[in-house]
Amino acid sequence: MQAMLPDFIKNKTSDYAFTIVIPIYNEEDNIERLAEVVGSYLPACPVKACALFVNDGSKDASLARIQAACARIPHAYYISFDRNRGLSAAIKAGIDCCQSRLVGYMDADMQTDIRDFNVLLPHTSEFPLVTGIRAQRRDSWFKRFQSKFANGFRRMMTHDGATDTGCPLKILHTEYARRIPFFTGMHRFLPALIRLQDGGTFFETPVRHYPRMAGTSKYHLWNRLISPLKDCFAYRWMAHRYINYHVAEKNI
């Protein structure tokens, strides 16, 4: 993936306080509903906000529908990959593009409510990461079992204390988000990765959760359970080698 533009080259997100990154891969059946709720929320958000759709190399009509949505919705923008790169890459690209003080993340599957960013935003003055906890999850028992097992193993390996890292509703301080060491599967470790940084703390709060109404889940046994277990070992290796520093004085 090509490197993003340096900070001094401004893009439209610099005009906002909050950028909501929405990765999309083959969600053509959800785009219209997603665009409707995003378009309604942005003007009502407590802070000046925009949406940044990240098309992750979709093979269906997602890109065309994203382009149409951005043409009619104020404060909505998009970037598109040349091919499918994965969720972690899509989140990283959104963060790389973000020039607002806060950057948020939500999925395109409509299982969380964009209006619940209003529940997270008040805590961003104190915490560099605020994340949702899916209250009363509307998934099958097998999905809930896999998530519970994977979350328990992750907590044992990372000692992050996070309840539900799979909840796709998060807000980060952009300066902290940019210092996160990114790797495939990174999105499962945001609380642990934030805690590696000096002053890196996070806050959790319950948010609403809904059953998937359209499209198909991109997760299965391998990438919901087996792959996260492997990623825990990658995190442990990386965490012991993480470089953390602050410049105390400069003359450049």
What band does 2 get if pLDDT is binned at 50, 70 and 90?
very low
251 part of a folded domain: no
156 part of a folded domain: no
pLDDT in tens, 83-105: 999 998 999 999 999 999 999 99
Question: How many Å apart are CA 48 and CA 117, to the nearest integer?
Answer: 13
Question: How many Å apart are CA 201 and CA 76, to the nearest integer?
Answer: 30
Phi and psi, residue 125, nearest 5°: -70, -20
226 part of a folded domain: no
Q: What is the pLDDT of residue 38?
A: 97
pLDDT in tens, 56-87: 999 999 999 999 999 999 999 999 999 999 99
pTM beyond cutoff 0.75: yes
243 part of a folded domain: no
150 pLDDT higher than 50: yes
pLDDT in tens, 208-236: 988 766 656 555 555 555 666 777 777 77
Q: Beta-strand (E) ranges in 48-178?
A: 49-55, 76-80, 102-106, 129-134, 169-173
**Could you tell me if 47 and 102 are in contact, meaning their C-beta atoms sit under 8 angstroms apart?**
yes
Residues near 134 by beta carbon (within 8 Å), at least 6 away in sequence: 112, 164, 166, 167, 206, 207, 209
For the chain, the domain total comes to: 1
pLDDT in tens, 162-186: 777 778 899 999 999 998 887 777 7
241 part of a folded domain: no
37 part of a folded domain: yes
What band does 141 get if pLDDT is binned at 50, 70 and 90?
low
191 part of a folded domain: yes
Does the CA dihedral 7-9-13-15 come out positive or negative?
A: positive
90 is in which domain, residue-wise? 12-143+163-216
Closest CA to 10 of 114, 97, 140: 97
Question: How many Å apart are CA 103 and CA 194, to the nearest integer?
Answer: 14
Instruction: Give the domain CATH number at 25.
Output: 3.90.550.10
To the nearest 10°, report the CA torsion of 187, 105, 120, 229: -20
Average pLDDT over residues 118-139: 89
2 part of a folded domain: no
**Could you tell me if 16 and 49 are in contact, meaning their C-beta atoms sit under 8 angstroms apart?**
yes
Which amino acid is located at 124 in the chain? T
Which amino acid is located at 20 in the chain? I
Q: What is the pLDDT of residue 212?
A: 63
Average pLDDT over residues 10-34: 96
116 pLDDT higher than 80: yes
